[in-house]
Amino acid sequence: MSFAEIIGQPKPLAILRSALANGRLHHAYLFLGPEGVGKRAIALALAKAIHCAGANGDFCGQCVNCKRIGDGNHPDVRLVEPLAGRKEIAIQQIRDIEKELNYQSFTGGRKIVIFDRATLMNLSSQNALLKTLEEPPADSLLILIAANGGALLPTLRSRCLKVSFGPLHRPAVAQYLERNKQVKTEEAQFLAALSMGSLGLALKLNDRKLFEKRREWAALLGSLGKGDYRSGSDAAEKLAGNKDDALKFLEWAETFYRDLLVFAAVHSGDELINLDLLKQTQQLAGAVTVEKWLALFEQAVGAGARIQRNLNRRMVLEDLLFNVVGAR
Ligand SMILES: [Zn+2]
């Protein structure tokens, strides 16, 4: 493993690698960007490159330092996240880090602390960390990771160099899934599109059963004829059985109506999420107006939110499917 094998994020990598090569790393960075696009992976890669015994300005992934960082037990590299069973990073964790940073490094290299996610620090924890950031111990490096900086104190943010991470490109995510997770091409493309450039999310969604289930759902929605309220009611009852399954269906239904909306608007399949359902999408897209697809998309989004709030599932689903039946 080396920097060259990391997928995407050319700009953050260029900023960090150049600072590393020129001995100009700052004491604190704030990595901002959506979930699952490589912020933690790149923070760990940087830590490896700083400590690697086998490569200069890069990391080998093989030496004892790289291995220990990868396993989470390098004495000079700490990953701070909430303790088991807790939702927040505790203030005591911050105080321990402050103490540790003032001890001598074990290996003679930089002491590195990665906060993932930094927004899990409450205000008192953030204030405690601020003291460390105001007078960073020599040879320390703090990396704060967050989806957005809004929940962090402005004083904390202003003491970190901001590095922005964008979504990954779809083909890069698909290629990664095919090569590293042995996912079939068609499925990899679907997952890459569905996850909107978040490899982390694509890996979570990599579920063979879900992939097949979607085809059943697509057939079900496609089979609901105009005015066929009876079938709509039957389908709602079937889908309402279990909360998780109902939510999965609705998450998918969002993508299905989004695809129909996109296809009806631009008459092209290039941007579809459910690429393997292109034919069905093509056939169905002209059945109603763009405005109606938009309305169904919004209703699917709303139905998911209502089920999250524990409203009666059969009623919520019937409401949506009756709109489907009525729209045709
Ligand atoms: Zn190494």
User: What is the predicted pLDDT for the residue at 267?
Assistant: 87
Residues of the chain with CATH 3.40.50.300: 3-164
Place of tokens 């906060």: 115
Domain topology for 207-327: Zinc Finger, Delta Prime; domain 3 (1.20.272)
For 191-243, the pLDDT digits (tens) are 898 888 899 888 888 877 788 888 899 999 888 888 899 999 999 999 999 99
Strand ranges of the sheet holding 161-164, from the earlier edge strand across to the other edge: 77-80, 111-116, 140-146, 28-32, 161-164
**Least confident interval from 104-108, 113-117, 137-141, 298-302:** 104-108
Q: What is the CA(39)–ligand 1 centre distance, in A?
A: 20
Q: What is the CA(48)–ligand 1 centre distance, in A?
A: 6
Q: What is the CA(161)–ligand 1 centre distance, in A?
A: 26
The torsion angle over the Cα atoms of residues 59, 60, 65 and 71, rounded to 10 degrees, is 100
Asked whether the whole model's pTM tops 0.85, one would answer no
For 307-326, the pLDDT digits (tens) are 999 999 999 999 999 999 88
Long-range CB pairs of 215-220, under 8 A, 24+ apart, other chains included? 215/276, 215/277, 217/249, 217/252, 217/253, 217/256, 218/256, 218/274, 218/277, 218/280
For 55-82, the pLDDT digits (tens) are 889 999 999 999 999 999 999 999 999 9
Which residues lie at CB < 5 A from ion ligand 1? 52, 54, 59-60, 63, 66
252-287 burial code (b ≥16 CB/10 A, e <16): bbbbbbbbbbbbbeeeebeebbbbbbeebbeebbee
User: What is the predicted pLDDT for the residue at 328?
Assistant: 62
Long-range CB pairs of 81-85, under 8 A, 24+ apart, other chains included? 81/115, 81/116, 81/117, 81/120, 82/120
Q: What is the CA(57)–ligand 1 centre distance, in A?
A: 10
Residues of the chain with CATH 1.20.272: 207-327
What's 3-164's CATH class? alpha beta
Enter the tokens of residue 215. Answer: 């085809």
Q: What is the pLDDT of the chain when averaged over all its residues?
A: 92
